[in-house]
Structure 1
C-alpha cells in the first residue's frame, strides 16, 4: 500500500550511502536534492531529501518509518547493520506485544527514527 516514505536529511550523499548499504538497495531516482532508494521502482522505497523550503531538516516527535522483515533474525541483522553504519539505538531487538510483534528501533545519522519488525 505504501509506495515510499520521505525523510529530511542534512547530507544527501551520506544518507544515500547509509540507506543503500543498510538495505542492499540502489538509488532508483536521483534529482539532486532528493533520492529514492529501494530494490525496484515497483517496490516500496525510502526517499531521502533536503527539505524543499531550504530549512534545516527536523525529525517529527512521534514520527517513524517502519520496515517489515521476514524473520526475527532479519530484524536483528538490520538493527546491527544500522548501528554499524552510524545509527543509534532506540530499542534493541526484542519481543513486544506478547507473541504478536518482534521489533527493534534506531535513529539514522540525521536522527530520523525507524523500526524493523515482524508480526507473529
Structure 2
C-alpha cells in the first residue's frame, strides 16, 4: 500500500550516506537521485524512503508526532540497527527494549536532521 515516505533533510549528501549505510542490510540503496530528492529502497516496486530538500527551499523541520518505523525482522536486528544508526551519527531517542510485554520491542533514534526513526519487532 505505501509507495514511499518522504522526510525533509538539510544536507542531501549526508542524508543519502546515512540512510544508504543504515539500510544496506535490508538490501536498500539509492535507486533514483534527482538532486533535490532521492529514493532509497530495494527496488522501485517496493516501499521506499525518499529524502529531500524541502520544495519551498525553507529549512526542514521534523514533524511533532511524525515518525518513520522500520521493521528489520527480529529483536536482535532492532538492536543492531539501533547501534548502527548511533554509530552513523544518530542520537538516541529511546534505547532498545520491550515496550509492551510479549508484543512490541522497539528502539528510537533521531537522524542527523532530527527526524524520528523507530526500529521495531512485534512478538
How far apart, in 2, do the equivalents of 1:42 and 1:117 lie?
A: 23
- Structure 2 counterpart of 1:9: 9
Q: Deviations over 1:45-98 (max 9, x none)?
A: 110000000100000111100001210010000000000000000000000111
Structure 1 regions of 5+ residues with no counterpart?
Answer: none
Structure 1 residues 47-56 or 1-10, which shifts more? 1-10
Give the root-mean-square deviation of aligned CA atoms. Answer: 0.7
Deviations 1:19-49 (A, max 9, x none): 0000112111111100000111122111000
**TM-score for the superposition, normalised by structure 1:** 0.97
Give the Cα–Cα distance (whole angstroms) in 1 for the partners of residues 42 and 79 of structure 2: 20
Other-structure match for 2:117: 114
Match of 2:59 in 1: 56
Normalised by the length of structure 2, the TM-score is 0.95
Q: Of 40, 46, 51, which aligns to 2:49?
A: 46
What secondary structure does 2:82 align onto? helix
Report whether the alignment pairs 1:73 with 2:72: no
Unaligned runs of 5+ residues in structure 2 are none
- Matched positions, count: 120
